[in-house]
């Protein structure tokens, strides 16, 4: 799962450093708490971007939805408008020291990047592999196909869905 705040660049230019740090602290606290409660692993991140892994797709999806709701609550409370974009893929992770690599890592990063311009609210996007794993759950029927205006070559032949 990869998370990223959209519109954050404009926020950081218009707000004092203390407000920016407060937002980043809140996001980090939420990500770490929910990841820990769900048994996920933080594989890295920088600023507002986080890369998490989970042993089961259903746990990743539940954590993504909990993070989205917690972030919405924080935004309402503070009066901010900083949508969060979450991308999920299922696959193999290769790691060498702090370097993560492999085609499945590139796919989820490409999904996050390609969907960032689509969201008007807080978005959760999944690949077809994730949707397949969610068959028989309440999430399955809530996943709607997404057309990407600029589809990266890495995503050729991979269907993308948004949780609605």
pLDDT digits (tens, 9 = 90+) for 71-93: 999 989 988 888 899 999 999 99
- Comparison of pLDDT for 100 and 34, the residue scoring more: 34
CA distance 14 to 53: 33
- Residue corresponding to tokens 């660049």: 9
Q: Could you tell me which CATH number the domain at 2-163 has?
A: 3.30.70.1230
The string of pLDDT tens digits covering residues 13-53 is: 667 788 888 889 999 999 999 999 999 999 988 878 899 99
3-state DSSP percent of the chain in helix, strand and coil, to 5? 45, 25, 30
Gap between the Cα atoms of 144 and 99, Å rounded: 33
Confidence of residue 106 (pLDDT cuts 50, 70, 90): very high
* 111: helix, strand or coil: helix
Q: Where are the domains of the chain?
A: 2-163
pLDDT exceeds cutoff 90 at 157: yes
């Amino acid at each position: 799962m990869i998370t990223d705040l959209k519109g954050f660049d404009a926020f950081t230019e218009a707000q004092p450093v203390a407000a920016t740090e407060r937002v980043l602290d809140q996001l980090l606290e939420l990500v770490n708490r929910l990841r820990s409660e769900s048994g996920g692993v933080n594989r890295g991140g920088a600023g507002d971007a986080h890369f998490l892994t989970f042993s089961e797709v259903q746990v990743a999806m539940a954590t993504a939805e909990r993070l989205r709701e917690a972030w919405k609550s924080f935004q309402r409370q503070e009066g901010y408008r900083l949508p969060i974009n979450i991308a999920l893929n299922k696959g193999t992770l290769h790691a060498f020291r702090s370097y993560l690599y492999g085609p499945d890592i590139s796919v989820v990063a490409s999904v996050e990047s390609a969907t960032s311009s689509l969201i008007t609210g807080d978005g959760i996007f999944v690949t077809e592999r994730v949707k397949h794993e969610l068959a028989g759950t309440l999430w399955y029927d809530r996943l709607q196909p997404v057309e990407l205006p600029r589809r990266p070559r890495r995503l050729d032949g991979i269907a993308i869905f948004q949780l609605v």
